[in-house]
Amino acid sequence: MNILNEAIQQYAEQHTSEENPLLKRINRDTHAQVMMPRMLSGHLQGRLLAMISAMIRPDRVLEIGTYTGYSALCLAEGLAPQGKVITLDINEELEERVRKYIADAGLQDAIDYRIGDAGTLLPGIDEVFDLVFIDADKERYSKYYDLVIGKVRPGGFILADNVLRDGKVLDEKTDKDTRAIQEFNRKIHADPRVENVLLPVRDGIMLLRKVSL
């Protein structure tokens, strides 16, 4: 998943603020006990999410794709007083684990964790968001974007993970998930409602700012 030289990646992590003890435990537990641990945001990306959240000081954050809760906890670090992260995930098998981590962080009131299909849940969420993080099934990125863009305040931000797909976005003939990401990247770049920067961090993060309705 790392597109950077491994030594550069390690150097970047060595010169990035440490994870707190709970995040370290989630990182370790996920790699030891959960299938597909590469889905975890991890140290470098987690600190980036926390930093962006701290810069924005959001009142409302939406996350599509909770996995084991690492990124939700990072996003919650920058919340404004009384702020909330609403995080959605379809994998009910991880629910007990995630709720335990949220409780261990003392963030039961700040993180609203919902189990279900995001495509079904999103239309029923009547909130205006300052920050959205999309990190779920790649084939539906464009659908998720269409469902959330109207819920983001002007000046608000959207982050989308895995937009480089191990560098496979450069290939003309590739798998269906990568084709969906290629289409998503083109769609974002052509949308006059947003400004965008594609950051080559880890597996690629698309950073968007909504500039108009």
Whether the CB-CB separation of 49 and 78 falls below 8 Å is answered with no
**Spatial distance between the Cα atoms of 176 and 170, rounded to a whole number of angstroms:** 14
- CA 26 to the chain's CA centroid: 16
Cβ proximity of 161 and 184 under 8 Å: no
Tell me the percentage of the chain whose pLDDT exceeds 70. Answer: 99
Give the pLDDT band (50/70/90) at residue 2. Answer: low
pLDDT tens profile 95-127: 999 999 999 999 999 999 999 999 999 999 999
Domain boundaries of the chain, sorted by first residue: 6-210
Task: Please name which of 139, 135, 177, 181 lies closest in space to residue 158, comparing C-alpha atoms.
Answer: 135
- For 174-204, the pLDDT digits (tens) are 999 999 999 999 999 999 999 999 999 889 9
**Residue 80 pLDDT greater than 80, yes or no:** yes
pTM above threshold 0.75: yes
The fold of the 6-210 domain, in CATH, is Rossmann fold (3.40.50)
Q: Residues 163, 125: contact at Cβ < 8 Å?
A: no
